[in-house]
Amino acid sequence: MPDETTPSDEKEGDVMAGDRRIARTDTALPDWYASDAAYRPIPIVWFGGALIMQVVAIPVIAWLSLALIGFGPIVTTAFLLLASGFLWQFTWERGMQDAAVGWQIATGASLMFFLAIGVIGIFG
């Protein structure tokens, strides 16, 4: 008959905290950890990634198009719009389509805001 102070599934080497096992020797993970859970990134990760890529891409594309290649402001604006569209599509496919509507609106608004700053910088 098992001792009432030790759980019946306790194995030698288990790390115990009183009567509760906090880690197992076969997994080295706490017993409350759901090891079969899937990784689900939160929408702020997609939002932040899109924002960082937009903030980097807009000046680089504008510089390449205007200064290096010598295209005019209209063509450069088209490139910036195209890049923003690709970035939105990438973010959408990455998982933003499953996010709350607020995150979708915030992402679209931030992409449009930084696109507008880039266009104002070209024509300004």
- Supply the DSSP string of 38-63, one letter for each residue: PP---HHHHHHHHHHHHHHHHHHHHH
86-108 pLDDT, tens digit each: 999 999 998 899 899 999 999 99
More confident residue, 39 or 65: 65
Q: 48 and 22: one domain?
A: no
- What pLDDT is attached to residue 33? 58
Whether 26 and 56 map to the same domain: the answer is: no
Q: Are residues 71 and 115 in the same domain?
A: yes
Q: Identify which has the larger pLDDT, 116 or 28.
A: 116
Please state the φ and ψ torsions of residue 3, each to the nearest 5 degrees.
-70, 140
Which structural domain, as residue segments, surrounds residue 27? 1-37
Same domain as 31, residue 69: no
- Strand 15-17 to 20-23 pairing: antiparallel
Residues 81 and 58 in one domain: yes
Check residue 70 and give left, alpha or beta (phi > 0: left; psi -120 to 50: alpha). left
pLDDT of residue 59: 95
Selection from 37, 7, 33, 35 nearest residue 21 by Cα: 7
Model confidence pLDDT, tens digit, residues 3-58: 555 555 555 666 666 676 665 555 555 555 555 555 566 899 999 999 999 999 99
Alpha helices in 3-100, H assignment, sequence order: 43-63, 73-94
In sign, the C-alpha dihedral spanning 15, 20, 26, 31 is negative
Q: d(Cα 53, Cα 107) in Å, to the nearest integer?
A: 12
69/119 same-domain check:
yes
Going by pLDDT thresholds of 50, 70 and 90, the confidence category of residue 70 is confident
Q: Count how many domains the chain has.
A: 2
Q: What is the pLDDT of residue 36?
A: 54
Residues 61, 112 within the same domain: yes
Q: What is the pTM of this model?
A: 0.66
